[in-house]
Amino acid sequence: MTEKTFSIIKPDAVEGNFIGKIVGRFEEEGLKIAAMEMRHLARHEAEGFYAEHKARPFFGELCDFMTRSPVVLMVLEGKDAIAKNRKIMGATNPANADAGTIRKLFSKSVGENSVHGSDSPEAAAREIAYFFRGISVYSKK
């Protein structure tokens, strides 16, 4: 099914100059960039986005990291985009990520792991709506 998912190129990858290479991986795998914006997140935006992790010991560190420098917010579109994006990203901890995945190629640690990707249709809908207006997960075509 053609669907949309939400992706972030995180500060470590922007600082490392990997925006083009990461966008290139999505395009190579057939995902289209349906929306894109680069900007520096406010603290309250990072905290709201990661609210489900509020009780975790790394929450403060995660929000510090996500507001350290600009990020690239994207909506990716394509067949099975949600699962496909997660596969292209690789495991949360780059040490466990498969060869060729973004996290294996570009990430240094479980905290600074270069990309975010929605993990379900519900998360995709919520996360797209958090940053972009008027875009729904499923398209009519």
- The residues of the shown chain that bind ligand GDP, judged by CB under 6 A, are 58, 61-62, 92, 110-111, 113, 116, 119
Closer to ligand GDP at the Cβ: 100 or 139? 100
Please give the sequence-ordered ranges of beta strands (E in DSSP) within the chain, or none if there are none.
2-9, 32-39, 71-79, 115-117
The nearer residue to ligand GDP, 40 or 134, going by C-beta atoms, is 40
Min dist. Cβ of residue 93 to ligand GDP (A): 8
116 in catalytic set: yes
Smallest separation (angstroms) from ligand GDP to the CB of 134: 25
Nearer to ligand GDP by C-beta: 4 or 86?
86
Closest contact distance (angstroms) between CB of 30 and ligand GDP is 21
Distance CA 33, CA 64 (A): 27
User: Quick one: which of 26, 137, 21 has its CA closest to 84?
Assistant: 26
Smallest Cα–Cα separation from 31: which of 85, 74, 105?
85
Q: Report the 10 Å Cβ neighbour count for 132.
A: 17
CA pair distance 16, 50, nearest whole angstrom: 23
Q: Which of 40, 44, 53, 116 is catalytic?
A: 116
State the catalytic residues.
116
